[in-house]
Amino acid sequence: MMRNRVLGKTGIPVSPFCFGTLTMGPGQANLSLKDGRDLIAFALECGVNFFDTAELYGTYEYLDSRALPGLDGAVIASRSFAATRKDMAKSLDLARKSMHRDVVDVFGLHQQESGLTLKGHRDAIEFLAEAKFRGWIRAIMVSTHHVACVRAVSLMDEVDVIFAILNLEGLGIRDGTRQDMEEALAFASSCGKGVYIMKALGGGHLYARAREALEYVRDLPFVSSVAVGVKSRAEVLFACSVLSGGEVPRAVEAETRSAPRRVVVEDWCAGCGECAKVCGFGAITLVAGKAAVDPAKCMLCGYCARTCPDFSIKVL
């Protein structure tokens, strides 16, 4: 049974499992619209009410409320790299129109690094505050891989929700340890911020310890929900079971643990470097004129695949 938790002071109830749409999208599994929507419908039947997306992911169509009436009562979170008022307005308009929703519940800034980068997005934040006042969004969020950003956002009255990286081994945290991020998020929660977590499975590095990894973030007192990227019913069932504290079917756990992913760079890579620019984990460099991926640093987010102009990078 999925028991909802309130997301900070927003008053928004969310399921402990947040369905991450990145994995099923064009940068990774590339499910058909029918298969993707069927998977979302299955999650809704399982009691999931929280779905995470982003403009970069290219997954808005899966979340079209006209095609899936059950989504009308669900909570949708999305974000954009937009830094100006004008661009953020375009991003929110795109989200609302693409998903056919008058209100996108949680919307904000994608992949911020520090108080300095937040200052550079001041115009966008001011637009989001206006959008909240007008009722186009219910809460303003910031997503980040950085402890410094969490600390800065904790003291910003405009921001309601933080979507941060955290996992059992501290993988992917760009400027500190697991303990540093725990302490920063606990402080954020004490300031009234809603907190939900990304990369609980370390971008796939923790698949062999998947249950332990999800239980760790599930039991942190400041966490309202955990976003897990899924592409199959087994993965939905596994995340639902663990994050709700229920019994996990052995077959479901075995199937989930046997599905590792990897990044493939095709021979036709032109070495433009766009993938390296967008990688928030420093996992991509250019070697002999082509992209090279460091598996130890890669979190399998697929941002590189979405950015590549020649479709030469894939997450499989």
Same domain for 252 and 273, yes or no, is: no
CA distance 257 to 228: 14
At 30, is the secondary structure helix, strand, or coil?
coil
Decide which of 208, 230, 257 is a domain's last residue: 257
pLDDT at 23 over 80: yes
Closest to 297 in 3D by CA, of 179, 182, 165: 165
Same domain for 186 and 305, yes or no, is: no
Q: What is the mean pLDDT of the chain?
A: 92
Domain encompassing residue 11:
5-257
Q: What is the pLDDT at residue 208?
A: 83
**DSSP secondary structure letters along 219-284:** T-TT--EEEEE--SHHHHHHHHHHHTT-PPPHHHHHHHHT----EEE-TT-----HHHHH-TTS-E
Same domain for 185 and 303, yes or no, is: no
Same domain for 194 and 270, yes or no, is: no
**DSSP H helices in 108-209:** 115-119, 122-134, 147-154, 178-190
Position of tokens 């504290």? 245
Same domain for 133 and 275, yes or no, is: no
Mean pLDDT across 281-296: 89
Decide which of 212, 236, 257 is a domain's last residue: 257
How many domains, the chain?
A: 2
Same domain for 26 and 90, yes or no, is: yes
Same domain for 23 and 41, yes or no, is: yes
Q: What is the pLDDT at residue 255?
A: 66
Summarised one tens digit per residue, pLDDT across range 237-280 is: 999 999 999 887 777 776 666 666 778 788 889 899 999 998 98
Same domain for 306 and 219, yes or no, is: no
Q: What is the pLDDT at residue 259?
A: 62
We report the CATH number of the domain holding residue 142 as 3.20.20.100
Same domain for 30 and 153, yes or no, is: yes
Summarised one tens digit per residue, pLDDT across range 81-120 is: 999 999 999 999 999 999 999 999 999 999 999 999 999 9
**How many other CB atoms sit within 10 Å of the CB of residue 221?**
6
Question: When comparing pLDDT for 284 and 299, which is higher?
Answer: 284
We report the CATH number of the domain holding residue 274 as 3.30.70.20
Per-residue burial over 238-251, b = 16 or more CB atoms within 10 Å of its CB, e = otherwise: bbbbbbbeeebeee
Summarised one tens digit per residue, pLDDT across range 175-228 is: 999 999 999 999 999 999 999 999 999 888 888 889 999 999 999 999 999 999
Same domain for 184 and 276, yes or no, is: no
Same domain for 71 and 144, yes or no, is: yes
Same domain for 79 and 203, yes or no, is: yes
At 18, is the secondary structure helix, strand, or coil?
strand
